[in-house]
A and B are shown apart, each in its own frame.
Chain A
């Protein structure tokens, strides 16, 4: 029997880490992810876990320590947010290019400045091309479940890539909701022990990691990384199926909520999906065929699958909780629209940048988007696709 609890998103992540019992956790506090290493360090002090907790002096050091630990042959985890991730930037690329399956909890927050500690996705979007697998979580349950699946995906021999589990700062990380936990023993069995094929502390096989990689070689190593990312799709599918067998909770590349017979739909990630589901239900009660596609697996990006899932719609809105400041549209919008173009699915698509710096996203805002979509579905005209909601402007 699973355990019924009520936990915040940060508590859920810390409990997942406790159950995983990694060899090393190196982390530096930063709002809103601070509580994860804070709770976890109490597990270390109480002897509930066998982990070596490294209280580093910066996030750059946190990621460096994780890289060292993982290269040595141990399982390493960390947690961070926003500017903490920015400070890790250099080492984020080292971790993925050295093919070290480190697992991170990223509690999404606006990257300053001006200084803001609240939720948006600008931190995650900044590392979207860094070669990390990126899973997004609507609520505490998904943040917990994604973490339980993380090592199985990241450490798979066909993958060997670091993985980050994202959840919305404060909205998810600090809100207490019901959750179903898996028993410790079952988690232990599911996650398994880490047995790397090659590692630095293997005295039977001396090895060098991260050597000089000049013109005849780096391109091939990047190609290998890209292949590993392509392989990750199949592994994520397999591990999610196995997880479903254990818990009954189904995870795919994305969740389709009343999308099958929908005429208009929203594509979004993380907690906004919860608000959107509420709005979809209320619109459905009025006979409006609204649907939702919630992206869980952002990297690798399920391009073909998303294009197919949206192909029957009359109008689509992609919501970006981060502005790419490129004069053309947000990151999720660009990924979705290019996927549709390449797969020859012609549907009017618009983009809304929203929720920046923790701006509230209400059901009225989402209703407004569906209202716009109904108009677009009627006329087929998108007008300017690069839009906003929730920002104050002159009338």
Chain B
């Protein structure tokens, strides 16, 4: 059952229980972000240092092992990726 900010109390599960598994994808944490990482692809050497440090798995990697642009649905803007990038290919704005 989908519970939204419009669901009346009578229809909500008790205690906020979630009777389902594997649903953290439905919780989009991107709106917690106050600063945003910007990916500058021209500077990126695809060294592979950024995506393993992302705590939110918000840097998608394609099947050619190359990183793509950020998934802002889940990026909380922590800036760890920008710190580890040796080439200045990620800027926090």
Q: Which residues of A contact B7 (CB under 8 A)?
A: 220
Contact B15 A207 (CB under 8 A): no
- Min CB distance A83 to B, Å, is 28
Question: For chain A, what secondary structure do more than half of its interface residues adopt (helix, strand, loop), or is it mixed?
Answer: loop
Instruction: Check if A216 is an interface residue, CB within 8 A of chain B.
Output: yes
Contact B20 A221 (CB under 8 A): no
Inter-chain CA distance A208–B9, complex, in Å, is 19
Instruction: Check if B25 is an interface residue, CB within 8 A of chain A.
Output: no
Contact A213 to B20, CB < 8 A, known contacts A223-B9, A224-B9: no
Contact A206 to B16, CB < 8 A, known contacts A216-B5, A220-B9: no
- Docked complex: B52-93 residues within 8 A CB-CB of A: none
Instruction: Check if A364 is an interface residue, CB within 8 A of chain B.
Output: no
**A226 to chain B: closest residue by CB:** B9
**B7 to chain A: closest residue by CB:** A220
Contact B14 A207 (CB under 8 A): no
Instruction: Check if B12 is an interface residue, CB within 8 A of chain A.
Output: yes
Q: Which residues of A contact B5 (CB under 8 A)?
A: 216-217
- Min CB distance A66 to B, Å, is 16
Chain B, 1-33, contact with A by CB distance < 8 Å: what is the 0/1 string? 001110111001011111111000000000000
Select B14's contact among A211, A216, A224, beta carbons within 8 Å.
A224
**A223 to chain B: closest residue by CB:** B9
Instruction: Check if A44 is an interface residue, CB within 8 A of chain B.
Output: no
**B14 to chain A: closest residue by CB:** A99
Contact B17 A209 (CB under 8 A): yes
Contact A217 to B12, CB < 8 A, known contacts A206-B20, A206-B21: yes
Contact B16 A217 (CB under 8 A): yes
Q: Which residues of B contact A114 (CB under 8 A)?
A: none
Instruction: Check if A113 is an interface residue, CB within 8 A of chain B.
Output: no
Inter-chain CA distance A223–B12, complex, in Å, is 11
Contact A221 B14 (CB under 8 A): yes
Select B15's contact among A98, A216, A227, beta carbons within 8 Å.
A98
- Min CB distance A158 to B, Å, is 11
Contact A209 B15 (CB under 8 A): yes
Instruction: Check if A97 is an interface residue, CB within 8 A of chain B.
Output: yes
- Docked complex: A189-215 residues within 8 A CB-CB of B: 198, 205-211, 213
Contact B16 A198 (CB under 8 A): no
- Min CB distance B36 to A, Å, is 22
Contact B18 A207 (CB under 8 A): yes
Q: Which residues of B contact A205 (CB under 8 A)?
A: 19
**B22 to chain A: closest residue by CB:** A206
Contact B15 A210 (CB under 8 A): yes
Q: Which residues of B contact A228 (CB under 8 A)?
A: 14
Inter-chain CA distance A210–B18, complex, in Å, is 9
Q: Which residues of B contact A213 (CB under 8 A)?
A: 16
Contact B21 A224 (CB under 8 A): no
Q: Which residues of A contact B16 (CB under 8 A)?
A: 210-211, 213, 217, 221
- Docked complex: A221-271 residues within 8 A CB-CB of B: 221, 223-224, 227-228
> Can you give 9 contacting A-B residue pairs, CB < 8 Å?
A97-B15, A99-B15, A213-B16, A217-B3, A217-B5, A217-B12, A221-B12, A224-B12, A224-B14
B-contacting residues of A (Cβ < 8 Å)? 97-99, 160, 198, 205-211, 213, 216-217, 220-221, 223-224, 227-228
Given contacts A160-B14, A198-B19, A207-B19, 7 further A-B contacts (CB under 8 A): A198-B17, A208-B21, A210-B16, A213-B16, A216-B5, A220-B7, A228-B14
